[in-house]
Structure 1
Amino acid sequence: MQKIKTALLSYGMSGKVFHAPFLEFHEGFELLGSWERSKQLIQLDYPNTKSFASLDDVLQSDAALIIVNTPVGTHFEYAKQVLLAGKHAVVEKAFTATVAEAQELADLAKEKRVKLSVFQNRRWDSDLKTVQQIVSSNVLGEIVEAEFHFDRYNPILSPKAHKETANDGAGILKDLGPHIIDQALYLFGFPQSVSADIRITREHSLVDDWIDILLFYPDFRVRLKAGFFVREANPAYVIHGKKGSFLKPRGDVQEDELKLGKKPNLDTWGTEPKELEGFLHTEIDGEIIRKKVPALQGNYYDYFDGVYKSIVNDLPEPVTAQDGTRVMQIIEASIQSSEQKKVIDL
């Protein structure tokens, strides 16, 4: 099996939890190491790797693929250097700080004939995979409305300065927002217009921490919400159609298990507890159905496998730069809508 030598641009939470375990597990990748600015930690977990002293060291290494998993405000600068060096790139969400930056990176990747993918791993959550199955099966009939939540109860400001200082990459809109925006576009396509309300709710916060985004489609609406003052969680996904409804609590276990140091596998990984099953209430062939729906298995491995196949077999990336640019279009339109208090046509 062809090996793709891969390096990370940081080994904080995202590198340690979301990337390194899958790069190590997938037989097609060889994890070379990570750029580490202060602490050299990656070798403690992966003894055969190295700690790079600078971005130039990473760019001059044998890495064919570089993961840009640094703060959002640095994504454009670092990804551009990676692409100019002729290397493939995976860029964390939010893809960039602006639509213009996203489009420039997409164009540069085409020019350099390298692969560029956005790390929207939550397409491979057990929750979203289950919702996708319900929607695509047409068991709800014609969709009337959907509502996605990514809520937390966390009134305390983050100790990470880049998350709480006013900058182009900070705030819940570019932190949790890209997850549910991408999921909505993945399921329903690009909307016609956007209306949004963006607020600050935490004491002393300098960045947005509550969003309510409404996507307008010709025949239905999709509402996306996220905030830090939800002690009792809403269903993460609520979908109503002309035949029935489906409600699904957030149940994907992958992030929690990765934080505990558990290693991914292909058999039992991403299996939700039974008590977090979704609930379907609909009509099928004239019969009213009310039942629990077991969640499909989630696995972020499938994202990395898609990246591998895109490079080795010259296939489309599992999440394309165009996908990332479209998410940025929704984000920019949401900011404009909230500031101007009006619906923005796309």
Structure 2
Amino acid sequence: MRLRVGFAGFGAAGRFFHAPFVAAAGMEVAAIASSRKAEIAAVFPDARVVADFDALLAVADLDLVVIVTPNACHVDQVRAALEAGRHVVVDKPATPTRVEAEGLADLADARGLKLGVHHNRRFDSDFLTASRVLGDGVLGEIVALRMNWDRYRPEATGRWRDRAAPASGNLYDLGSHMIDQVLMLVGMPDWVQADVFAQRPGGETDDGFEILMGQGQRRITLGVSLISTAPRDRFRLEGRNGLFRKAGLDCQEDQLRAGLDPLAAGFGEEPEGQWGEIVAPDGSVSRVVPETGRWLTFYERMRQAIEGTGEVPVTMRSAGRTIGLIEAAHAAAREGRRVHLDADGRWS
């Protein structure tokens, strides 16, 4: 019997980043708490639409609740879903603080429930390709990791993402993905310093940042701009024997918005014009055939975890370490200092 899934929220994230993969992973989109009845009927006509989160938890036969509401709602809704006996997936950023993340992880453990955080960017084509290049060792010792996520969105929208609230701003939004990817690629840095800023008129929270982290002799830089008409390289791994560079963003979001099914042939395959390359010390350049992006992997592994045949793909404790680094970066920017981290990412 298929696992039955309920959704809290059905905005762009729910419709494009979550629901298609829940269905493709062999689970049923059974209930949705949303006011978007017509939109839901067009894509999931058999789903039960309920008025609010409390009504969703009252649906008796749900196995998993997926929370894709504004960030400020996450902590209370995750806690309520766990207390109602449901397994949970929550969109990133999972919580405003590491302490809250660890408290929710403890609650899930105490209840014997699975709690996952949707860091789907672990399954981007470019990140998977960078991971492979790093693992192959062709670049030698990595002395610099540079990651950027630039867009041209020069006006604040007025939507909840641009309003001041717990876990708001681009450091929590795109920064959650980027810091998670850093931890997956090279592990915990020794220190962090940061500039976190707002540049767009009308925004109430940060829209850009520049972060520098150190790990022994290695330097890690992360940058986001929402007023860039010519984005920087998305990934750049600089080693003693050469560098890997890659421009452009993973194509899965665009494919989903164009109506392509996650199980369709070619889904997640990057166009050749976006392939990365390795530059050798002599200046010679070789193209790098990319890995196929596969956000579906997250929900396949989540289903297996609930069924008892696998592990949660991204745990709340793992996401909590990312949140802790975001807190450290905010402190570094606010106080104008280098914040030192222990091996588990804790700081003071």
Give the shorter-chain TM-score range: over 0.9
Letter in 2 for 1:225: G
Separation in 2 of the partners of 1:138 and 1:213?
A: 26
Letter in 2 for 1:298: G
Percent identity, aligned pairs only? 31
State the partner residue of 2:274. Answer: 276
State the partner residue of 1:323. Answer: 318
Alignment of 1:247-266 (within 5 A): 247-265=245-263
State the partner residue of 1:313. Answer: 308
State the partner residue of 1:13. Answer: 12
SS across alignment from 1:238: strand
SS across alignment from 1:176: helix
Q: How far 1:219 moved relative to its partner? A: 3.2
State the partner residue of 2:57. Answer: 59
State the partner residue of 1:72. Answer: 71
Match of 1:225 among 223, 231, 236: 223
1:273-304 alpha-carbon deviations (Å, 9 max, x no partner): 00111010236xxx975201121111111111
Distance 1:267 1:40, change over 3 A: closer
Distance 1:115 1:314, change over 3 A: farther
The reply to whether residue 290 of structure 1 matches residue 280 of structure 2 is no
SS across alignment from 2:155: coil
Separation in 2 of the partners of 1:133 and 1:275?
A: 20
State the partner residue of 1:342. Answer: 337
Separation in 2 of the partners of 1:305 and 1:156?
A: 37
Separation in 2 of the partners of 1:158 and 1:101?
A: 29
CA contact under 8 A between 2:192 and 2:338: conserved in structure 1? yes
SS across alignment from 2:156: coil
CA root-mean-square deviation: 1.5
Q: What 5-or-longer segments of structure 2 have no aligned partner?
A: 342-348
SS across alignment from 2:150: coil
CA contact under 8 A between 1:40 and 1:51: conserved in structure 2? no
Separation in 1 of the partners of 2:189 and 2:305?
A: 27
Q: How far 1:269 moved relative to its partner? A: 1.0
Q: How far 1:44 moved relative to its partner? A: 2.2
State the partner residue of 1:83. Answer: 82
Alignment of 1:122-201 (within 5 A): 122-160=121-159, 162-201=160-199
Q: How far 1:54 moved relative to its partner? A: 2.2
SS across alignment from 2:28: strand
State the partner residue of 1:216. Answer: 214
Separation in 1 of the partners of 2:265 and 2:35?
A: 36
SS across alignment from 1:34: strand
SS across alignment from 2:260: coil
Q: How far 1:83 moved relative to its partner? A: 0.9
Separation in 2 of the partners of 1:208 and 1:186?
A: 25
Letter in 2 for 1:300: W
Letter in 2 for 1:334: A
Q: How far 1:336 moved relative to its partner? A: 0.4
Match of 1:303 among 279, 298, 306: 298
Separation in 1 of the partners of 2:202 and 2:89?
A: 34
CA contact under 8 A between 2:255 and 2:267: conserved in structure 1? no
SS across alignment from 1:233: coil
Separation in 1 of the partners of 2:186 and 2:306?
A: 27
Q: How far 1:266 moved relative to its partner? A: 6.0
State the partner residue of 1:238. Answer: 236
TM-score (normalizing by structure 1): 0.94
Distance 1:166 1:159, change over 3 A: closer
Q: How far 1:205 moved relative to its partner? A: 2.1
Separation in 2 of the partners of 1:13 and 1:306?
A: 23
Deviates more, 1:169-178 or 1:326-335: 169-178
State the partner residue of 1:47. Answer: 45
Separation in 2 of the partners of 1:313 and 1:38?
A: 34
TM-score (normalizing by structure 2): 0.94
CA contact under 8 A between 1:43 and 1:50: conserved in structure 2? no
Q: How far 1:204 moved relative to its partner? A: 2.8
Q: What 5-or-longer segments of structure 1 have no aligned partner?
A: none
Separation in 2 of the partners of 1:38 and 1:125?
A: 29
Q: How far 1:38 moved relative to its partner? A: 6.0
